[in-house]
Chains A and B, each alone.
Chain A
Amino acid sequence: MTTAAPTAPPPSPTAVEGLTTNPYGLTPEQFEQLGEEMDAIRQRVLADRGQRDADYIRGIIRAQRGLEVAGRGLLWAGVVPPFWLAGTAALSLSKILDNMEIGHNVMHGQYEWMNDPKLSGKQFEWDTACPADQWRHSHNYMHHTHTNIVGKDRDIGYGVLRMSEEQEWKPYYLGNPLWAALLATFFEYGVALHDLEVERIAEGEISLMDKRELLKGIGTKVRAQALKDYVFFPALSGPLFAFPLAGNATANIVRNLWSFTIIFCGHFPEGTHEFDEAETENETRGQWYHRQALGSANLSGGRLFHILSGNLSFQIEHHLFPDLPANRYAEISVEVQEICERYGLPYNVGPLHRQFGSVVKKICRLALPDSPRTVARRGLGGLAGGAGKLLSLGKRSVLALK
């Protein structure tokens, strides 16, 4: 066991050979111990899963179904303004719960141990444009395995935004804030097109034909979703169809803006680290945990806030243990934070307005070409195996160490 480190040790990127992504200078033994400590938490929660977790997720599903039925019912009579407002609010909440606390978490396999086919990660389908199958690949595998590895983790900018200095600037990125606003508004479609790799199509590397199967799956799902929200339910209101139609569209957009905000606060606030593909080859388990913790950021808030964020407000815990039931993250977070402190690692947490504010700042800053200083640093980084960049990242991360 290491003794508590009162201050972060000075960055020494070469402490572990082959892993220069080590801004806090952990020794190989420390990485090993970190891995063991994290594994122990995981093991303990796995062994403790039971009725209360089952009751929790069923309770959330029950609340979601209730909110949805109430929302649809109120919007049917949406011509009455208070009904429209209440209905739209209920349906927005229903979609948020469905996508975040239920869909995202169930599809991670967090409740697979229950052996209930309806909560099986492989069979679950959610109320959004993205087909569940494609999500499981792009998110569970690509994003969670290659978290914050520039060039591999497609969540870095979704192929349309510049979210990292490592993405080379082009004039297109002048529109970064505008593209981000559009992506946020239509986020469900952005998520659905995640695996389309639009930027590779734009560059002529692949063609749309290569993605035919993928597009077919998206088309089927989008059609079913659109028919439900924009044709069938409005039609039930007859000549007053415009009210449920507007309510449904608003609920979808509210959900889009909310999920965009939460998800972008997970990896892009000031202080989160990025990693290089070459640097992360042959990671040990401890190094993997280390990358997940450094690449994620948490949001502070109340219980309801955590539920509505799908407990992605505990992004650090979620990335360390993506398949533990999300209702456990809050209790684990105390230990994780303590472990991070002990190893001198940052534990990036802040209220929504602060974290999102820093994401917006980054989106705007990266719209412009890099300053000569950044360019110089990158040049140095290229020569010294990324050490320069890591030094700068390390400095930026200290703010969260409290």
Chain B
Amino acid sequence: MSPQLLPRRSLRFLEAVATPHGVDSYLEQIDPLLVAGECRAEVVGVERGTEESATLTMRPNRAWRGFRAGQFVEVAVEIDGVRHQRCYSPACVEGRATTIEITVKRHPEGLVSNFLVDRAEPGMVVGLSAGQGDFQLPEQRPESVFLIGGGSGITPLMAILRTLFAEAYERPVAFLYYAPDAERCIYREELERLAATHPSFRLLRSYTRAPGTGELDGHFSPTHLPESDPCFADAETFACGPPALLDAVRGTWANGLEHRLHVESFVPPSFVPVGAAGEGAIRFAGPEVEVANSGASLLEQAEAAGLSPAYGCRMGICHTCTCRKRAGTHKNLITGEVSSAPDEEIQLCVSAALGDLIVEL
């Protein structure tokens, strides 16, 4: 129940009679969107521009706390009984608007992205987190803004652009965007319309596989940077795209301009490199201890590092040592099962890391 609907005392009473499961666990039996303690969203629109992507419009429930332009949200879907979470950057105007929009691009091995591209339909309910990440448009709007994007890295930049123009921002904005060709320039029509109607907005595109069709040619190079309106060196710069683009951008901003550069990169989880047993480093988040991975079970390695996580049977039966793995690949020593999924509950006593791994103790 939300505080707006009921006075606090009634709320306390309701929670006391709904103990131990809580009011939400009864409400969700009527409608999964009625819960107050967990943000969920209903998919209200699906637009499949190409075979390769889908743009989803979602209406969050009342637990939604909004996001800032540039931030990402975690979207949770259930596939064959298993909940999976992935990060997506909304492309819409920031705040607590009634709907948010994300664009999902297909990846060859992307379980969640392929599921959403193929199967998302209106009425589907997904989990949704509040906006996260430091990559965001500052509340105090900058004097001038420079955006650099590549491929699907355009989405947080679209949120920034749309937010600025929705606020009638009139100071200089430039957008340097890289895509293979005009067909794969997501939001092309909207960008062109914005460029035509806002004299303060400079749109610079390079279609890397179709030279001569954009304002610029080839991959990112310092020669692509505008010297004025805005001058890249004076503008607050936001870059999002593939690692190669971001590396090149970082190199250019290396000499005293770093504080003006904000970057965001997403590496899809299915591309997390899988190391071998005994390779990489294990970080025990919480106590913040990092050790070189010896290949032994995570419980043994934590204990060897002087930590004392809770444990019971030490044979994978009792689940006393279950902890949340944030990232990395682990192998179940009993079943041999290997998993790279982020945010997963694992049993320390029968799990070993393959390469780098972060686990919350």
Contacts and interface: CB of A to CB of B under 8 A. Distances in A.
Q: State yes or no: do A and B come from one complex.
A: yes
A354 interface: no
A66 B81 CA distance: 22
A155 interface: no
Pairs A-B, 6 closest by C-beta atoms: A54-B81, A141-B312, A109-B319, A125-B20, A115-B83, A140-B318
- State which size class the interface on B falls in: 20 to 34
Contacts of A221: 20
A167 to B, nearest CB: 24
A393 B25 CA distance: 48
Nearest to A66: B29
A92 B343 CA distance: 37
A55 B341 CA distance: 22
Interface string A252-274: 00000000000000000000000
A126 B335 CA distance: 30
Given A65-B26, A66-B29, A145-B312, A137 B20 contact: no
A77 interface: no
B84 interface: yes
A144 B318 contact: yes
User: Max chain A CB contacts within 10 Å: which of B319, B334, B335?
Assistant: B319
Given A54-B78, A125-B20, A232-B13, A112 B25 contact: no
Interface stretch (A44-52, A329-337, A372-380): A44-52
Contacts of B13: 232
B17 A233 contact: yes
A113 B337 CA distance: 12
A402 B24 CA distance: 49
B20 A224 contact: yes
B7 to A, nearest CB: 17
A200 interface: no
B312 A137 contact: yes
A228 B20 CA distance: 10
B317 A145 contact: yes
Interface string A33-53: 000000100110011011111
A318 to B, nearest CB: 11
A225 B313 CA distance: 30
Contact of A224 (B16, B83, B337, B344): B16
B319 A140 contact: yes
Interface of B: 13, 16-17, 19-21, 25-26, 29, 78, 80-84, 312-313, 315-320, 322, 334-335, 337, 341, 343-345, 347
A201 interface: no
Contacts of B21: 65, 125, 127
A43 B316 CA distance: 13
A65 B25 contact: yes
Interface stretch (A14-22, A116-124, A177-185): A116-124
Interface of A: 39, 42-43, 46-47, 49-55, 61-62, 65-66, 69, 108-109, 112-116, 118, 120-122, 125-127, 136-137, 140-141, 144-145, 221, 224-225, 227-228, 232-233, 288, 322-323
A325 to B, nearest CB: 10
Contact of B322 (A46, A66, A112): A112
22 contacts: A50-B80, A53-B81, A54-B81, A69-B26, A114-B82, A115-B82, A118-B25, A121-B319, A121-B322, A122-B319, A122-B322, A125-B21, A127-B20, A127-B21, A144-B313, A144-B318, A145-B312, A225-B19, A227-B16, A228-B17, A232-B16, A232-B17
A115 B345 contact: yes
A62 B345 CA distance: 24
B81 A51 contact: yes
A258 to B, nearest CB: 20
Contacts of B341: 115
B20 A51 contact: no
Nearest to A319: B317
Nearest to A111: B81
A156 B80 CA distance: 40
A304 B83 CA distance: 29
Query: B84, B312, B345: which has the most chain A beta carbons within 10 Å?
Result: B345
Nearest to B336: A43
B345 A224 contact: no
Nearest to A69: B26
B29 A145 contact: no
A52 B80 CA distance: 8
Contacts of A137: 312, 320
A154 to B, nearest CB: 14
A47 B312 CA distance: 25
A7 B251 CA distance: 78
A126 B19 CA distance: 9
A113 B313 CA distance: 19
Given A46-B337, A65-B29, A136-B318, 19 more contacts: A43-B335, A46-B335, A47-B335, A54-B81, A54-B82, A65-B21, A69-B26, A108-B319, A109-B319, A112-B319, A113-B81, A114-B78, A118-B25, A141-B318, A145-B312, A145-B318, A228-B17, A233-B17, A323-B316
A194 B84 CA distance: 37
B141 to A, nearest CB: 37
B320 A140 contact: yes
Nearest to A142: B312
Contacts of A323: 316-317, 319
A120 B323 CA distance: 11
Contacts of A52: 81
